[in-house]
Structure 1
Amino acid sequence: MISKTFINRPKFAFVISIVITLAGLIAMSVLPVNMYPEITPPQVQISAVYPGASAQIVEESVIRPIEEQINGVEDMMYIESSASNNGSAVITVFFKVGTDGDIAQVNVQNRVALATSSLPSEVTRQGVDVKKKSSAMLLGINLFSEQEGINQLFLSNYATNYLTEPLGRIKGVASAEVMGEMTYSMRAWLNPERMSSLSITVTEVQQALQEQNMIVAAGKLGASPTLPNQQFEYSIQAKGRLQTPEEFGQTIIRAQRNGNFIRLNDIARLELGAEDYSTQARLNGKQTAFLVIYQLPDANATEVASLVKAEMVKLSQRFPDGLEYVIPYDTTKFIDRSIEEVVVTLFQAIVLVILVVFLFLQNWRATIIPTLAIPVSLIGTFAFMVLMGYSINTVTLFGLVLAIGIVVDDAIIVIENVERILKEEQLPIKEAVTKAMDQVSGPIIATTLVLLAVFVPVAFMPGITGELYKQFSVTISFAVLISSLNALTLSPALCTVLLSAEKMKPISWLLPFERLITRATGGYTKTVGFML
C-alpha cells in the first residue's frame, strides 16, 4: 500500500506537497493572463494594391487569380475577400482552430507565389504582402494635437515612422498598425486640355515618373583598371528620389526637336498630400491618428499592455511640441476587473469550504488536513497548465473555483474513517491510519476515476466550443488528480502527526450544532424509512 510509506515517513509526504506547491507558484509567475482562452481561428492576410483600378477590376485581375490558387490550402476553413475603389485588395484566409499559424502562412505564401504570374505587372511591382493576422486587439492609442498646422496627415505619418516600429518590437506584440493610415504622397493634378493640345497621354507621364524618380548606382571615377598615375577613386553620388513639388515639376515628359522640354509642371498642378483620403480617424470630432496594438496568441495581455504604456511614456518625451496621446481603448481594464472578481470568488469559496468542514468535523486539527489539500491542489494545477500551454483566464479560474469543493472530499473521507476507527477500536494513531487507508484507498482511486470520466471527455469536444471548454475540463482534472495524490500521501501523514484519540474530541461550544445535525439525520432516516 502506497500510503503506508508516508504514514511511517510523514516528512516525505510533506516534501512532495511542498515541491508541488513551489512548482505551481513558479508557474503562476510565467503563465500569461488573458480574458479567455485562445479560441479564434488562425488567420493569414494577403494584401495587394493596384493603383488607379476600380473595385471590380481589382476583383477580376487580383483577387480572383489569388483565390483560385489558395482555395483548398491545408486546414483552411473559409476565405474572406474585399476590394475597394482605391485599388487595394485584402484576402483573409481562416484556418481550423489549433492550426500552426507559421505553417499556415508558409502554405499560403507558396500558393500566392503560383498566382504571381497571373497578376498585373503593376501589382507585382508594388508587392503582394502575406502575413499572419492577429484578431486580438489589445490597445488603441490616439495621437492628437490642439496646435494648428498639425493635421491628420502629419499625425498618421508620425505614428507610422516613429511609433509602429518601437512598439512592434515589444515582447508579446504581434503588430502595431495605424488604422486609416494616410501616407505622404505627391499628387499630380493633370490638366486634360493642356495634355490634349500637346498630345500627351497619362501613360507617358507614368513612364517619365518611373524612369526619373528612382535611385540608381551612378558608378565610380578612377576605379581599376586605371592608368599608373591614377591615385584617387571617386564614388559618383547622383540625385535620388524626388521629394518636393518643385523637383517633381521639373520631370521631363517629352523632349522636342527644337531643344525645348515639356515638363510635368507644364501640364499638372503638384502638391504634397495623402496617398488615400478614403478613411479618416476622429477623436471627439477632432483629427487623430489611431494606432492599434495586436498581441500574440500566447502573450500575457496585462504584461504586454504595461510594456506598451511604458514605451509610450518614453516615446512621448520626443514628441513635437503640441503633440499628445491618449489610450481610450484598453482591453486589460476589463481583463483585470474580471480576473479580480473571479479571484475574490475563489477566496470566498475557500473560506466557505473551510467553514463548512470545520462545522461538521468540529475539531481544529481535523480541519487543518482538508484545508491544506486546497492550496496544494489548486496551486499545483498551475504547473500543469504551463506544461499544457494554457493561460490564466476566466475559464481556467472558473474550473479552479468549481474544484475547491471537490479537492477536499478525499481528505475528509480519510479523516472521518480515521476518527471512526479511533473511537470504535481504540488503536494507536499509526495503526488506525494504516487500517483506515487500507479501507479507503480503493474508493479514493475509484472516485477519482469517476470524476475524470465526467470531465476528461469535455476536452475532446470539437470546434470552437471544444477549445473554450478544454481548459476548463483539463484544469479540473489536474486538480482532482493532485487531490487524490494528497489523499493517499499528505492526508495520512498529517493524520499521523496531528491526530490522536485525545485530540479528536469535538469543541464544546459546537455541541448544540452537533445535536441539531443528529436530530436532522434521525428525522431524515425515519422519513425515508417510512416512505420505503
Structure 2
Amino acid sequence: MIARLISFSLHNRVIILLIAAGMFGWGVYSVQTSKVDAIPDLSENQVIVFTEWMGRSPQLVEDQVTYPLVTNLQGLPEVKYVRGSSMFGMSFIYIIFEDDTDVYWARSRVLERLNSIGNMLPDGATPTLGPDGTGVGHILWYTLDAPGMDLGEQRAIQDWYVKFALQNVDGVSEVASFGGFQKQYEVTVDPNKLTYYNITIPQVIQAVRANNNEAGGRKFERSDIGYIIKTTGYLESAEEIGNIAITTSNTIPVRVQDVATVQMTGESRLGIFDVNGEGEAVGGIVVMRYGENAEEVIENVKVKMEEVSKGLPEGVKFNIVYDRSGLINESVDSIKHTLIEEMIVASVIVLLFLFHWRSALIIMIQLPLAVAIGFILLNAFDISSNIMSLTGIALSIGVIVDDAIVMVENAYRHLAGAEQGKPSED
C-alpha cells in the first residue's frame, strides 16, 4: 500500500503539489476562522439548577428542595451523575452529562423534568436553570465610573439599562450585576403598636399585597368610540404604602404608617465590591455562551459598550476591570512567534545537516504545511486555538523534522547509489 502510494506520488507530482497547495490554503483559512482563547475549556458538560428559598436553614433546604430535585433528576438520559449543594436560603444542583452530549439538548431535558416535579417543592421555591456558560466563561468585568452618583442609582442604571443592552450581544450568555444597592421599599413594623391595635404581621402583609395590584375591566363602545376600563393600583411611593388601610378601629381606619415605618432602602448585603481600595463600585460580569469564540465576543461587547455609553447620564462611563483579550493576544502572539522561530531554526539546521538544497526544501515545505493541517483538524474537532493546543503544535515541529530527515536522507542515499551503479542497501 505504501509502495503504491509513493509510486503514485512520484508519477503524479503535479496532482500532489496541487493537493498540498489546496491543503495549505485550507489551513490558512482555518487559522483565520479558528476560535481563539487563552486557556482551554476543561470544564464538565453540566447544567446548573438554582433554587432560592430565602430565610430557610441549610438543613431545611436540603430536605425539602435539594433532595427531591436530586432524586428526580438522576433518571435523565445520558447523565453521568448529579451533585447537590445546600446553603442558607439557596440550593444548587449540578447535573453532569456525558462529554459528547449537546449542551442545549441537555438543558431542554432538564427543563422538561423540572416542569413535572415543580409541585413537589414547597411554596416560594421555584427552580431555574443557570446560564449556558462554563467555568471559564467570565471574559470581561467592568464597573461604572460615575463620580458623585448614588450607589443605588448606579445599580439601577446597571440593572435596567446596561445589563439588558449587553445581553443582546451575540455569544453572551449572561451579564451578572454586582455592587451597589438594589432599591426596595422597607416596612418596619412596631410590635407595640401592633399589640395596641390588635393587628398581626400577616394582616399587614396581606393589606400591602392586596393594594399593590392592577385589575382589568372591559371594553365598551359609545358614539362609535371604544373605551377600555381598568384600574391602576400599583404602588409608586413610600407615602402610598403608608396610607394603605389595614383595618378599622372604632370606625377609624388603621393605616400602615400607624403601625410601621415605610422608607426607601437597599436590600441587605453580605459584602461590598471595592476597586483598588478607592471605594465601592457597581458593575457587571460578562459571561460567554458555551462554545463561542472568546476573542470575537469580547470585541463585540466593547463595540456595544461604545453604543450604550451614548445613553448613559452625563459623566458616567465604563471602566473595564478585567479583559481576557489582553491575555489571549499575549498568549497567542507568544506561541505564534515561537512557532515561526522553530520553523526557521529547523529549516536552517536541516539545510546545514543535509547540505543539499532540494532535500532541505522538501523538509522545509512540510513544516508550514503540517502546521496548516493541524489547524484544519483543530476546527474539525471544535478545539480553540489556546496555549495548550498551540504548544502541542510547536512541540510537534521537532518530530516532523526528525521523520522527514530520516526519510529524505535515506531516499537521497539510495538515489545517489543508483546513479553510481552501486547496489542499494535496505
Common fold by TM > 0.5 = yes
Q: 2:412 & 2:63 partners in 1: Cα distance?
A: 81
Report SS of the residue matched to 1:277.
Answer: coil
Distance apart, 1:203 and its partner CA: 0.7
Report SS of the residue matched to 2:124.
Answer: helix
Matched, 1:383 2:376: yes
Distance apart, 1:97 and its partner CA: 5.9
Report SS of the residue matched to 2:210.
Answer: helix
One of 262, 269, 273 as aligned partner of 1:281: 273
1:469-506 deviation per Cα after TM superposition (whole angstroms, max 9, x unaligned): xxxxxxxxxxxxxxxxxxxxxxxxxxxxxxxxxxxxxx
Query: Which position in structure 2 is the counterpart of 1:448?
Result: none
Report SS of the residue matched to 1:288.
Answer: coil
Q: Relative to structure 1, is the Cα distance of residues 97 and 69 closer, same or farther in structure 2, using a 3 angstrom cutoff? A: closer
* 8 Å Cα contact 1:41/1:94 also seen in 2: no
Q: Relative to structure 1, is the Cα distance of residues 301 and 144 closer, same or farther in structure 2, using a 3 angstrom cutoff? A: same
* 8 Å Cα contact 2:180/2:280 also seen in 1: no
The aligned runs of 1:3-14 (5 Å cut-off) are 3-14=6-17
* 8 Å Cα contact 1:39/1:97 also seen in 2: no
Q: Pairwise CA RMSD of aligned residues?
A: 2.8
* 8 Å Cα contact 1:142/1:326 also seen in 2: yes
Query: Which position in structure 2 is the counterpart of 1:194?
Result: 193
Q: 1:8 & 1:427 partners in 2: Cα distance?
A: 23
Q: 1:157 & 1:54 partners in 2: Cα distance?
A: 30
* 8 Å Cα contact 2:65/2:91 also seen in 1: no
Report SS of the residue matched to 2:272.
Answer: coil
Q: 1:168 & 1:177 partners in 2: Cα distance?
A: 10
Q: Relative to structure 1, is the Cα distance of residues 333 and 354 closer, same or farther in structure 2, using a 3 angstrom cutoff? A: same
One of 73, 77, 88 as aligned partner of 1:70: 73
Distance apart, 1:15 and its partner CA: 0.7
1:97-139 deviation per Cα after TM superposition (whole angstroms, max 9, x unaligned): 614322332343344334422333233xxx4322345322111
The one-letter code matched in structure 1 to 2:41 is E
One of 81, 99, 102 as aligned partner of 1:100: 102
Which structure has greater strand proportion?
Answer: 2
Matched, 1:83 2:75: no
Distance apart, 1:20 and its partner CA: 0.5
Q: 2:412 & 2:80 partners in 1: Cα distance?
A: 61
1:207-242 deviation per Cα after TM superposition (whole angstroms, max 9, x unaligned): 1222221232232233xxxxxx86332012421421
Report SS of the residue matched to 2:140.
Answer: strand
Q: Relative to structure 1, is the Cα distance of residues 364 and 83 closer, same or farther in structure 2, using a 3 angstrom cutoff? A: same
Matched, 1:266 2:258: yes
Matched, 1:398 2:391: yes
Q: 1:54 & 1:213 partners in 2: Cα distance?
A: 30
Q: Relative to structure 1, is the Cα distance of residues 394 and 11 closer, same or farther in structure 2, using a 3 angstrom cutoff? A: same
The one-letter code matched in structure 2 to 1:100 is D
Matched, 1:161 2:154: no
* 8 Å Cα contact 2:83/2:95 also seen in 1: yes
Query: Which position in structure 2 is the counterpart of 1:299?
Result: 292
How many matched pairs?
Answer: 418
Distance apart, 1:54 and its partner CA: 5.0
Answer with 1 or 2: which has the greater Rg.
1
Report SS of the residue matched to 1:122.
Answer: coil
Distance apart, 1:73 and its partner CA: 4.7
Q: Relative to structure 1, is the Cα distance of residues 275 and 319 closer, same or farther in structure 2, using a 3 angstrom cutoff? A: same
Q: 1:402 & 1:69 partners in 2: Cα distance?
A: 47
Q: 2:282 & 2:332 partners in 1: Cα distance?
A: 31
One of 105, 113, 116 as aligned partner of 2:115: 113
Query: Which position in structure 2 is the counterpart of 1:518?
Result: none
Q: 2:315 & 2:358 partners in 1: Cα distance?
A: 67
Report SS of the residue matched to 1:298.
Answer: coil
Q: Relative to structure 1, is the Cα distance of residues 424 and 181 closer, same or farther in structure 2, using a 3 angstrom cutoff? A: same
Matched, 1:231 2:224: yes
Normalising by structure 1, what TM-score? 0.72
The aligned runs of 1:131-146 (5 Å cut-off) are 131=130, 132-136=132-136, 137-146=138-147
* 8 Å Cα contact 2:73/2:82 also seen in 1: no
Distance apart, 1:298 and its partner CA: 1.4
Distance apart, 1:357 and its partner CA: 0.4
The aligned runs of 1:419-458 (5 Å cut-off) are 419-426=412-419
The one-letter code matched in structure 2 to 1:367 is A
Report SS of the residue matched to 2:379.
Answer: helix
Report SS of the residue matched to 1:203.
Answer: helix
* 8 Å Cα contact 1:208/1:253 also seen in 2: yes
After alignment, is 287-296 or 44-53 more displaced? 44-53
Q: 1:138 & 1:13 partners in 2: Cα distance?
A: 44
* 8 Å Cα contact 1:45/1:90 also seen in 2: no
Structure 1 runs not aligned, ≥5 long: 223-228, 429-434, 441-532
Q: Relative to structure 1, is the Cα distance of residues 77 and 330 closer, same or farther in structure 2, using a 3 angstrom cutoff? A: farther
Q: Relative to structure 1, is the Cα distance of residues 48 and 254 closer, same or farther in structure 2, using a 3 angstrom cutoff? A: farther
Distance apart, 1:25 and its partner CA: 1.3
Query: Which position in structure 2 is the counterpart of 1:507?
Result: none
* 8 Å Cα contact 2:70/2:82 also seen in 1: no
Q: 2:205 & 2:60 partners in 1: Cα distance?
A: 19
Distance apart, 1:292 and its partner CA: 0.6
1:125-155 deviation per Cα after TM superposition (whole angstroms, max 9, x unaligned): xx432234532211111123221xx232222
Q: Relative to structure 1, is the Cα distance of residues 251 and 427 closer, same or farther in structure 2, using a 3 angstrom cutoff? A: farther
Distance apart, 1:333 and its partner CA: 2.1
Query: Which position in structure 1 is the counterpart of 2:25?
Result: 22
The one-letter code matched in structure 1 to 2:266 is A
The aligned runs of 1:476-495 (5 Å cut-off) are none
Q: Relative to structure 1, is the Cα distance of residues 415 and 122 closer, same or farther in structure 2, using a 3 angstrom cutoff? A: closer
Q: 2:409 & 2:198 partners in 1: Cα distance?
A: 103
The aligned runs of 1:299-448 (5 Å cut-off) are 299-426=292-419
Q: 1:257 & 1:57 partners in 2: Cα distance?
A: 43
* 8 Å Cα contact 1:189/1:269 also seen in 2: yes
Q: 2:420 & 2:303 partners in 1: Cα distance?
A: 65
Report SS of the residue matched to 2:392.
Answer: helix
Query: Which position in structure 2 is the counterpart of 1:497?
Result: none
Q: Relative to structure 1, is the Cα distance of residues 198 and 59 closer, same or farther in structure 2, using a 3 angstrom cutoff? A: farther
Q: 2:205 & 2:8 partners in 1: Cα distance?
A: 87
The one-letter code matched in structure 2 to 1:185 is Q
Report SS of the residue matched to 2:262.
Answer: strand
1:45-85 deviation per Cα after TM superposition (whole angstroms, max 9, x unaligned): 3333335545554444433433443356552434242433x
Query: Which position in structure 2 is the counterpart of 1:496?
Result: none
Normalising by structure 2, what TM-score? 0.88
Structure 2 runs not aligned, ≥5 long: none
Query: Which position in structure 2 is the counterpart of 1:122?
Result: 124
